[in-house]
Amino acid sequence: MSKTKAGSPQTIIHPLEPLYREDSKVLILGSFPSVKTREYGFFYGHPQNRFWPLMATLFQEKISNRIEDRRDFLLRHQIALYDSIYQCDIVGSSDASIQKVIPSDLSPIFSAADIRQVFCNGNTSYQYYQKYHAEACGLPGVKLPSTSPANARYRLADLRDAWQVITLPLG
């Protein structure tokens, strides 16, 4: 499906490869990459998304905007990253508009990495993880508040308090 007018859904295939390696212990799943993330070429690329400031706060480490630095940070901290959805029809970056979902294949991550816990960045990710992945992966997902700028009711300090749990399986 191609975009015919403003506000029309587009069929988008996930443009990013999952990030993980053998020693990854935590898998953080988003729902589907935003327009800005797709343009940037790496996860959580929207400058107003609080994912990267949150990671810097949780791990007390400065993280640059360079994709290579962000990849290195996640892998050093044994964090794998991907999304619950591989393909969908979506209007812009709106999770509420998602239709015709094809779930991501998480089996390569689980077969190669030592994933001990799955954390879902927001409700949409959690819903699709529960629907398509939880049973096959054998791990319940933990729903965390979204780092998206659309989730304005959570301040960075609130996110830090909720997301602190991701550091536990790493200890």
127 contacts: CB under 8 Å, gap ≥ 6: none
pLDDT of residue 4: 40
Q: Compute the distance between CA of residue 141 and CA of residue 83 in angstroms, rounded to an integer.
A: 13
Asked whether the whole model's pTM tops 0.75, one would answer yes
Residues of the chain with pLDDT under 50: 1-5
Q: Compute the distance between CA of residue 35 and CA of residue 37 in angstroms, rounded to an integer.
A: 5
pLDDT of residue 3: 42
Tens-place pLDDT, residues 76-113: 999 999 999 999 999 998 888 999 999 999 999 999 99
Rounded to a whole number, what is the distance in angstroms from the first to the last CA of the chain? 45
Q: Compute the distance between CA of residue 154 and CA of residue 46 in angstroms, rounded to an integer.
A: 17
